[in-house]
Structure 1
Amino acid sequence: MRSGLPIDEALAPLGAALRAGRNAVVVAPPGAGKSTVVPLALLEEPWARGKRIVMLEPRRLATRAVAERMAATLHERVGDTVGFRMRLETRVGKRTRIEVVTEGVFTRMLQSDPALEGVAAVLFDEYHERSLHADVGLAFALDAQRHVAPELRVLAMSATIDGARVAALLGNAPVIESRGRMYPVALHYVGKGL
């Protein structure tokens, strides 16, 4: 899947990393397309066929916005291929393959299904924002991967994370970086006259 966004350059290395191993870290600048392009690209991977991808977002607003953007990319409604779950609101259907969830919802998902049945990958978006729910979710996802779901993929994504430290946490996972920007950015400083 090509989006025309800077993250496109990282999709092939990421796909190869997750075919060869189970975990990875993606570091890319804000606006590169991590949240909206990576999950859609991973749906096409052989290990994801017939399973769901769950992506954690730290905030409710981002949960809804990311799901809406991915659904629009597919020319679908939220709840078809892409849906979301957050406290007091769920929009998923029988065909939903990507579920964007808040971190608290993921904690509750783990309580009812610690083996993460039918889940191909868990993506921790904006992992640099670290929270108790995200850290507990990561610990339980890695525990499930180690003991009951060896095919589960775990991916941490961020613009500002120390990739090497998180990679060590994920069993020396590869760090995939996307440095590109869609447009050159120039800074111009003006005097205090504004």
Structure 2
Amino acid sequence: MGGVEAHPRIAQPAFLQPAFLEEPRRGALQRSATTTGAWSLLELDRQGSTTALVPGPLAVQPSEGREISMRLVVDTNVIVSALLKPGSVPARALDAIWKAGTVLFDERIADEYREVLERPKFRAIDRQRVTDFLATLRARGTLLDEVAAWTGAMTDDDDRIFVEAALAGHADAIVTGNVRDYPTGLGFEVLPPATLLARFDRA
């Protein structure tokens, strides 16, 4: 992973371009959630490329005259893969999320994103992309300021903050490369980027 070099000629995703950053965010919810993430990019690639693209219950409306609106919590592994691999399924999914959804986060999640993206193992990610992503998160995302603790069983306790944010923010789904690490039956879906992207593409 450390040997991969960022390609300086690759165009920035739409969500990192100045015109997008200047757009006002819509429907901000004042609320809040924590994380430190143990995850695998290989797992994300495997799920992103092989998961069946089947319809699901997320409410995605056609774009003609109607706005797609999905409340989403995004796991750190999706962010890392999106910035490491422009044009990949995670990158396209994140771009679609910014354009047609609401990203829910709290200060713990923002700190997690920053800490992980600044690790030496991810030095292939251009530093300006990291800065631009974090600015987009603040400008376009919905900061949750009240998040209750959730004490249910977790495969990876580092993912607990994402579950807490999803519950506090009434999320439609958590988007992650580690679907199997999350509990079910809590009122939101747990989706890999490929499945989410397929739903946007059908809208």
**TM-score between both structures, scaled by the size of structure 1:** 0.37
Larger gyration radius, structure 1 or structure 2: 1
Return the structure number with greater relative CO, CA threshold 8 A, min gap 6.
Answer: 2
**TM-score between both structures, scaled by the size of structure 2:** 0.36
Higher helix share: 2
